[in-house]
Amino acid sequence: MIRLRRLKSGDRIALVAPASSFPPEEVAAGVAELARLGFEAVYDESVFETERFVAGSVETRLNAILKAWQDPSIAALIAMRGGYGSAQLMPFLDPGLLVEGRKALIGYSDITAILWLYQRNGLAAIHGPMIDRRISKGPSAYDEDSFRRVMMSSEPAGDFTPPQLETLNTGSATGVLCGGTLTQLMASMGTMWEFDPPQGCVMFLEDIGERPYRIHRMLTQAAQAGLFTNVAAIVFGEFPGCNEPGGDPAIRDVLRDFMKEFRGPVLFNFPSGHTSGPTWTLPFGVQAEVVGGPSPSVTILEAAVE
């Protein structure tokens, strides 16, 4: 695993838009919050472009990312938002630039596609807050502590157990943490960049606004594709908006029932990605320990940055 460049006070961070467009005022608010954290946010004016349901043409979005990857004064990139569009860029993203620069592209949701590109090329990846309605809203919308522990320290983040974490299956396991938004992972299947988790991994899965049968359908696809065969542990996110209207079935019960034959710990309600409260920053590509039981826990055993 190749560690990413550690962020430090005064670093320049590029705001990029690999996917959907966003309200323009989110940029100024995001710049201000990053300044409070000690960073200088920069962006190309092309970030404001729109084209139907994406933030500009493929060429526009691609050029901004490549420019930031190649600029030695840029320490990391943060996505403006998810939505749709990252998969369009995949054929044109140069893995060599990723490895050479070791710069994080922080995001979740649709950005899952690019996070997997990092991991499949041997780098750590950062499943963390984006600008739109997260960093732009301040610590009420993203967890500052986990962001600092993951991005600004060369020491392992250690105990990463949120108070609302629940156990669906008991047990303990250690493995490489990987995953992302379930919809995006399943959309990658059959492509040159399909999700192929490493043996013995800890898989993190989350989503938003999908009815229980749709989540069940994607999990069934994942199981039939053999994705769970060599997985040591599973950590599910909050899945906001995924209960059936009226509350029955609840997504928690659907996930518990689907995983009842899984031989390893399964946890639920980890607040990363789509969350109802502050979203936590998770480092992918590093070793993590998961314990399921009366006191469930997640421990990050390796640093993602140096």
Residue ranges per domain, the chain?
12-151, 158-300
One-letter amino acid for residue 35 of the chain: A
> 206 catalytic, yes or no?
yes
Q: What is the pLDDT along the chain (306 residues), one digit of tens a residue?
A: 999 999 999 999 999 999 999 999 999 999 999 999 999 999 999 999 999 999 999 999 999 999 999 999 999 999 999 999 999 999 999 999 999 999 999 999 999 999 999 999 999 999 999 999 999 999 999 999 999 999 999 999 999 999 999 999 999 999 999 999 999 999 999 999 999 999 999 999 999 999 999 999 999 999 999 999 999 999 999 999 999 999 999 999 999 999 999 999 999 999 999 999 999 999 999 999 999 999 999 999 999 999
Class of domain 12-151 as given by CATH: alpha beta
> 274 catalytic, yes or no?
yes
| Catalytic option among 20, 21, 109, 297 | 109
> 109 catalytic, yes or no?
yes
| Catalytic option among 26, 33, 206, 238 | 206
- Peptide bond preceding 249 in cis form (omega within 30 of 0): yes
| Catalytic option among 26, 86, 188, 274 | 274
Q: What is the CB neighbour count within 10 angstroms for residue 125?
A: 30
The token duo for 270 is 């980890």
Predicted TM-score (pTM) of the model is: 0.97
pLDDT at 92: 97
| Cα-to-chain-centroid distance, residue 154 | 20
3.50.30.60, 3.50.50.60, 3.40.50.300, 3.10.180.10: which CATH number matches 158-300?
A: 3.50.30.60
Residue 132 is classified by DSSP as: T
